[in-house]
Amino acid sequence: MQIISSEISKSLAAKVASSLGTELVGVEKRVFPDGEIYVRALSPLKDRVVVIGNTHPNDSLIELLLLQDLASESADVTTVIPYYGYARQDRRFLEGECVAAKTMANLLELKSKHIITVNLHKDYIREYFRAQVENLIPSGEIAETCRNADIVVSPDAGSFYLAKSVAEELGVEAAHFEKKRISATEVTSALDTDVRGKSVLVVDDIISTGTTIEKACSILKEKGAGEVEVACVHGLFLKPLSVNAHASDTIESRYSDYTVSGLIARALLKLKDP
Ligand code: R5P
């Protein structure tokens, strides 16, 4: 098995390759003056190649498609998408909208037999693929970021599955806020659970502008919570955050303090030797 990755996932790919003792193929990447991308594998690609790359930002998606096509010329391709961008448009909310999560699925499975991804925004996105898709949830890794939590809370009902599975790892209770989105940067939230004096871990799949998580933290403080910690899987951090956060390395940022490389390596091993 060889691993090749787009630029954005280079350090995660290096960790996966080192846990598996597998070759990480170097890539020469150039961007032409008109913005088009050039990639070249620096070693011959053989018969089984794992391509690692995100679908966000847009240029990384193009790079991923180029690498998949290149690898597919000589190999069976498994694609690892640490952060599956466009997943929040997972269905048609308004008449005439494009279901972007499905568009991505159609493109990504063209050259790949197996797809591995981390914490899809909605698990049912797997159904948009005909290829075999594995959706890895890093609950154990998140639990390790805050072992002293008394309760795990998600900022909306959509992420409650994550709060529940992290809470299970920690052997504590889970709860969720009721969130209503007013606009891209405005939300209203409410929580029924008593959190007075409790150490709370707030978990979400994505932190984008930070609006959702900041609102949840300020309500928890108003309700008398003790220590409040925040953890997400995919940290986009598009605006400066007023709270500290733990994030994985699906998207590298200064908040990335836990890795999903072990989870990905184990999933790849299972594919190799089912
Ligand atoms: C929404 O359904 C997601 O799970 C996140 O809660 C959302 O993407 C966070 O966005 P923001 O940080 O901009 O509030």
Q: What is the mean pLDDT of residues 37-59?
A: 97
> Rounded to a whole number, what is the distance in angstroms from the first to the last CA of the chain?
15
Output the residue whose Cα is nearest ligand 1's atom 5.
Answer: 206
Output the residue whose Cα is nearest ligand 1's atom 2.
Answer: 158
Percentage of the chain with pLDDT > 70?
Answer: 99
User: 261-273 burial string, b = 16+ CB within 10 Å, else e?
Assistant: bebbbebbeebee
Q: Considering only CA atoms, which of 146, 44, 128, 43 is closest in space to residue 81?
A: 128
107-125 pLDDT per residue, tens: 999 999 899 999 999 999 9
pLDDT value of residue 187: 81
162-210 pLDDT per residue, tens: 999 999 999 999 999 998 888 877 888 899 999 999 999 999 999 999 9
Q: Is the CB of 165 under 6 A from ligand 1?
A: no
pLDDT at 272 over 70: no
Q: What is the mean pLDDT of residues 244-268?
A: 97
- Other C-beta atoms lying within 10 Å of the C-beta of residue 238: 12
DSSP 246: B
pLDDT value of residue 49: 97
pTM for this predicted structure: 0.95
Q: What is the mean pLDDT of residues 232-251?
A: 96
Would you call 179 a catalytic residue per the annotation?
A: yes
Choose the residue to mutate in 182, 207, 253 for probing ligand 1, maximizing ligand atoms within 8 Å of C-beta. 207
pLDDT at 274 over 50: no
pLDDT value of residue 179: 86
Separation of CA 130 and ligand 1 centre (Å): 28
Q: What is the mean pLDDT of residues 235-239?
A: 97
Q: Is the CB of 205 under 6 A from ligand 1?
A: yes
